[in-house]
Amino acid sequence: MMFRNFFAATWIAAVAAAGAAEQAGSIVLGAGKVLTAPRTAAENSPADAPLRTPAMRARAAPTNQWYSNLMYPGPAEPVFAHPLTVRALAEGLELALPVLTAVPTERKDTEIRAVHRNALLVSATAFRSDAARLADTGDWSIQLSWAGPRLPGAQPQGAAPAAPDEMQATIAHGSPYAQFTVTHGGFTVRLPPAATARVSAQQPHVLRVETPTAVYAAFAPSGTVWSEASAGVWQVGAGSGRSYLSVAAMPDRSEASLALLQRHAYAFLRSTRVDWAYDANTSRVTTRFAAQTETMEGEAGPTLLGLYPHHWFDNASVADRLGPAFSTLRGPIRLLAANEFSTTVRYHGFVPRWPGLPEDSSPRVEQLRDLMKADLRNARRMMLEIGKGSYWQGKGLQRILKLADVVEAQGDTRARDQLLELVKGRMQSWFSGDDRKTYFVLDKRIGTVLAHPEEYFSIEQMNDHHFHYGYWIRSAAEIALREPSWATADRWGPIVDLLIADIATTRRGASDFPFLRHFDPYEGHSWASGNAMGGWGNNQESSSEAVNAWVGLILWAELRGDKALRDLGVWLYTTEIEAIRHYWFDVHRLVLPKEYKSAEVSMLFGGKIAHNTWWTDEPRQIKGINLLPITTASTYLGRDPEFVRRSLATLPEESRVFAARGKVAKPADIWQDIFAKYLALVDPTAALAGWDRWGSFELGDTRSHALHWMLTLQHLGTPDFSVTADTTLYTVLRSADGRRTYMAYNAGRTPLTVRFSTGVVLKVEPSELRTLRAERP
C-alpha cells in the first residue's frame, strides 16, 4: 500500500510555499519554523554517508537500519542479515554463517554473540574496486555495488578502454543466499583457512565448501565449471557470457538441503516489499511480505524466504509449508519456498488516559490528593530536571501531561489547564525557531530533522530520533486531544508533521526522508543507532520507548482523522510489541539459548544480545529501560503474567551480585515506581504494598501518576486481552471477581458507537473517555 500521508503532504506543501523564507535560513511551518542550518559552526552536523552510488545519493540516507554501517568509511564491519553475516570489503563480499558464542561478563551473566567467522570471499575476476557502495534498498533487502576498471589481461588486445565494470550483490534478511551479477568476466571465491571444497563430476557448476563451522554451496550458471586457480582459490564463469552466481549457507549437511537450495538458487531477489492493513472491525493487523524475483535459468520458481519466529509462530498459513531451519541469534529461522507470506496478529488497543478514582475506591485516594498537590507545586521544575536536549525535554513534556491526566481524572480541570499551558509554552519555544539554544534544523543533505542542542549523539551519529521525537509527538497529540485548534495547519501542527515524517515516512526512495527510518519491517522492531557502527551491528535498547513513539502516531492520526497514518501507527505499535515478546522477553521460550542466563534481553544488537545498558550495569536500570515510560498504552507489558513475575524475581539476586562487585545503586531503590507499576499489571495489591510513596521515582514519571495507575488497576482490575473492540482507542480491565470495565475514547468530532467483542456497546461523544463497569458475570 503506497500512500502519501497527510503529515507528509502538509509539510512538503509548506516547504514549497516558503522558498523566500528558506533563503533567509529558515522554513516557516504554520506558527513556527525550522532552520536550514545550525546557528553556529561549532554545533554538530550529521556525518556524511559517502559510500552510496550516485542513484542512492539522490535519496535521503537510510540511516538507523541494519545495514547503515555500509554507507560510512572506516574498517569494514559485519552486517547481520540473519542467517548470514556479510562484510563489504573493497575486493569483494565476505559471507558467513556466524558462530553463536556465549561470552561470560563481569556482571556474572552471559552475552550471546553471532561471530562472523570462517567467511568466504566472493569477488569479480576481471576488475578491482576501491570500495563497496550501497546501490539500492528494498524493504528487507539491499544491493551492493563494486565498480572499477578492468585488470590487465582482462581487456581484449587492441580494444578501446572499457567503461568501468560492476559487480552487484544482493542480500536480505532471512535469505540463505548472497546473489551476485557482474558485467564482465567471472567470479573468484576465496576459502578461509582449514576449509575444503569439492565439485561433483555430474554438476561441475556447483561448488560445495565445508569450513570448520559451516557448509556452503556456490551455484554458478549451468554449463560452467569451477576450477581451483590456487590453493583455496576457486574461479568460475569467465567467458561464459552468463555472469551470475548464487552462494548459499546450508542449514545442515544433508543432500536434501543441498537439493532444496539448488532448486531455488537461480530465483534472484530484485526487490522486497512489506504492506500492512489494520481492520478496525476485527482489531486485526495483517502484514504481507512480498519478494520480486528474476529467474536466471531453468523454470521460473520462487526463492527461499527465511521466516523468523515472530513470522512462523502460531501462523497457520505457513505451518505446513516450512522447511529446514537455521539456528540463529533470533532463534530458528525456518525456510519457506515462496515469494510472499503474511502474518496476522491482534491489536489490543489503549486509551489516552484512565478515568478518575471514586472516593470510596481506596483508602489511599487521600494520599493521591496529597501527592497531586506536591507534584503540581513542582511541575515546572519537573518538566526538565536533567539534560538540555530533545530527549530529556521530551520526557519532561510527557511527564507533565501524564500528571495532567491524573488531575483531570480527579476533577481538577483548573490544575490541568495550568499544566497544559506550561507544556505548550515550552513546546512553542522550541517550535518557534526563535530561541537561541533550542530549535530544530531541517538537514536536506542527509534528509533529516535535527534537534538542537544534541543529546546522545542524536545529530553527529543520528541516534535515537524515534525515542526523542516520540515523546514530542505524543505530547503534541495529548495537547491537541484537549485543544484541537493548537494543532491546526496555521499553528503548530506542521512542525509535528515534520517530526513524524523524520521517523515514519512511508514514501520509498524519496530525497527528503528515508522509508521508515528506524523500523525494520522484517525483524519487526526498530533500530536506534544512526550509523550502526561498532562491530556488532545496529542496536536497540529501550524497546518500550519505541512503542511510545508509535503511540504518538496513533493519537495524532486519530485526532486528525488520518486513516493512513492511523493504520501505520497501529501496525508499528502491534508489530514492535510482537518483536519485544519474542526477542527481548522470549515469552514463548523459542529464542534465547540455554547459555543466556538472564530473564530478558535489554540490549538487542544485530550481532549480539546483552543484559546491560549504555550508561550503567546497575540491574534495576538494566531491567527498567525496556519498561519505561509506563502509561495507559503499556498494558501490553502485562500480557504474560508468568513472565512478569519471573522477570521481577531475578532482581534480588542480580542486585546481590552487583553489590558483591563493590558497586552501589544510588538510590538503592532506583526506579521503584517503574517496577511497582509493572507488577501492578498482574498483581496491583502486591504492587501497592511494595511501593514507597517517599521512595525514588524515574524522571519521566511522577508519584501521582504512579499511585493513580496502581489504584486504578486495584479498583477496576488488570488488562483483559480476550476482548477487542471495533475502534482504535479502547481498553478492557477485569477484576478478580470477573467484572469487566470497558473504556473507549473518541478523538473525533462526531459521536462514536463502539462495539466490543463481548456484545457491549458504548456511545462515546467527541473528546470523551467513556467508561462502563459491567455487572458481575
Show which residues are catalytic: 464, 541, 545
The total of other beta-carbon atoms located within 10 Å of residue 45's CB is: 16
Amino acid at 402: K
DSSP secondary structure letter of residue 98: P
- Compute the distance between CA of residue 540 and CA of residue 467 in angstroms, rounded to an integer: 10
Distance CA 456, CA 389 (A): 9
- Classify residue 440 as exposed, middle or buried by CB count within 10 Å of its CB (0-12, 13-18, 19+): buried
By CB neighbour count within 10 A (0-12 exposed, 13-18 middle, 19+ buried), where does 664 fall?
Answer: exposed
Can you say how many angstroms the Cα of residue 297 is from the centroid of all Cα atoms in its chain?
37
Non-local (6+) Cβ contacts of 740 within 8 A are: 717, 720, 723, 732, 733, 734, 758, 760, 773, 774
Helix axes 6-16, 563-579, angle to 10 degrees: 120
| Closest-CA residue to 245 (of 192, 168, 144) | 168
Distance CA 477, CA 557 (A): 9
Give CA–CA dist 475/404, Å, rounded: 11
Is the CB of residue 736 less than 8 Å from the CB of residue 711?
A: no
Q: Identity (one letter) of the amino acid at 315?
A: N
Amino acid at 514: P
* Beta strands 331-337 and 304-307, pairing class: antiparallel
d(CA 186, CA 234): 11
Backbone φ and ψ of 244, nearest 5°? -145, 155
Quote the crossing angle between the two packed helices 390-409 and 365-377, to the nearest 10°.
140
User: Residue 44 is placed in which grid cell?
Assistant: 554538530
How many helices and strands in the chain, by DSSP H and E?
19, 38
Strand stretches in 381-438, DSSP E:
none
Q: Across-strand partners of 121?
A: 94, 190
Task: Please give, one letter per residue, the 3-state secondary structure of 196-235.
Answer: EEEECCCCCCEEEEECCCCEEEEECCCCCCCEEEECCEEE
Query: Which regions of 127-281 does DSSP assign to beta strands (E)?
Result: 132-137, 141-148, 165-172, 177-182, 187-190, 196-199, 206-210, 215-219, 227-230, 233-236, 244-249, 267-279
Evaluate whether 705 touches 403 at the Cβ level (below 8 Å): yes
Amino acid at residue number 573: Y
| Sign of the dihedral defined by the CA atoms of residues 405, 407, 413, 418, in that order | negative
Q: Among candidates 123, 59, 55, 136, which has minimal Cα distance to 95?
A: 123
Between CA 433 and CA 445, with CA 439 as vertex, the angle to 5 degrees is: 100
